[in-house]
Amino acid sequence: MQAEIGFRDEMVVKAEHYYVWAIGGSPAIAELLPLDKAGLNVLFMDDIKAFRAKKVKILNGSHTAMSAIALQLGCCTVKEAFSTPLVDRLINQMVAQEVLPTIDGDRHELEAFTKQILERFYNPFLQHQLADIALNALSKWTTRNLPVVVDRWHSREEAPLTVFSFAALLVLYSGESENTGFQPRDDERIVEELRGTFERNNIPGWVTGTVEILSLPELLGEAAARRLAAETSRAVQLILGQGMGRAAREYLG
């Protein structure tokens, strides 16, 4: 009976392609399913909400940001992306300086968790396609990365690299990126509007329109949406004017 109650309340989160599992519920579950003792990367806990928040911001958010940037640097897989020093440095710096400060918990534990998560990106056998990660990337960025921007702004801090990843994503979807062969797999209506309204001579207007198309003012409020549009516009102009590599280096400082 205890096991039945425990399973009824259990929740499982699987980190995409990295086989990190968190199982929440009755402690009896760990005894009935001793998956960790079989060598699997499984965590048992009473409540996985905190784990899910960390996983979404650190792992999934890194995925989304990385794919948008690396696809414009000639990379096709996660392995290729993290073999590119510029991508490696940008994602690690974004997580350390912008993502982790928005997550509650002991900093040393968060850094250890991040190391455990991100080290999987360096797996030499990993051939996870960036184009697959970029599936429905607009909604993924809104769910995974935008909260980092919001939390940083609420703390009167900046999130330039996270905003840069949004700019990279918009450029990638615009059809004007260095990756001319990329075809977005996303909401067709939004992609058509985004591409149909693109104006190289009016990037601020295009970005503002895109922010509205994505209904971000409803999520952020008008003032924050205007700020996001303004900061994103500057990054988009830099990417289009100097190329992804030089633009990323400038944001890294």
Span 174-232, pLDDT tens digits: 999 999 999 999 999 999 999 999 999 999 999 999 999 999 999 999 999 999 999 99
Flag whether pLDDT at 2 surpasses 50. Answer: no
Flag whether pLDDT at 74 surpasses 60. Answer: yes
Token pair recorded at residue 228: 């996001």
Q: Please tell me the predicted confidence (pLDDT) of residue 147.
A: 96
Percent of the chain whose pLDDT exceeds 70: 78
Which residues span the domain enclosing 37?
A: 2-45
pTM of the predicted model over 0.75: yes
**231 with 149, same domain?**
yes
**192 with 100, same domain?**
yes
The span from the CA of 16 to the CA of 198, in Å, is: 32
Flag whether pLDDT at 164 surpasses 80. Answer: yes
Q: Which of 10, 29, 45 is the last residue of a domain?
A: 45
Token pair recorded at residue 154: 């609420």
SS3 12: strand
**95 with 190, same domain?**
yes
Q: Phi and psi of 129, rounded to 5°?
A: -75, 130
**83 with 30, same domain?**
no
Report which DSSP code applies to 221.
Answer: -
Token pair recorded at residue 15: 């980190």
Q: How far is CA 161 from CA 181, 204, 253, in A?
A: 25, 19, 11
Give 34's pLDDT tier (boundaries 50, 70, 90).
Answer: low
The greatest distance separating any two alpha carbons of the chain, rounded to the nearest whole angstrom, comes to 67
Flag whether pLDDT at 168 surpasses 90. Answer: yes
**34 with 153, same domain?**
no
Give 15's pLDDT tier (boundaries 50, 70, 90).
Answer: very low
**Helix (H), strand (E) at residue 86:** helix 85-94
**28 with 105, same domain?**
no
Residue pair 36/45 in contact (Cβ under 8 Å)? The answer is no
Number of separate domains in the chain: 2
The span from the CA of 232 to the CA of 33, in Å, is: 47
**136 with 229, same domain?**
yes
In degrees, rounded to 5, the angle at the alpha carbon of residue 79 between the alpha carbons of residues 160 and 94 is 15
Amino acid at 141: W
**221 with 153, same domain?**
yes
β strands within the chain, DSSP E: 11-14, 21-24, 42-45
Q: What is the pLDDT of residues 85-139, one digit of tens each?
A: 999 999 999 999 999 999 988 888 888 888 887 777 777 666 789 999 999 999 9
Tokens 């400082």 correspond to 253
**114 with 238, same domain?**
yes
**40 with 108, same domain?**
no
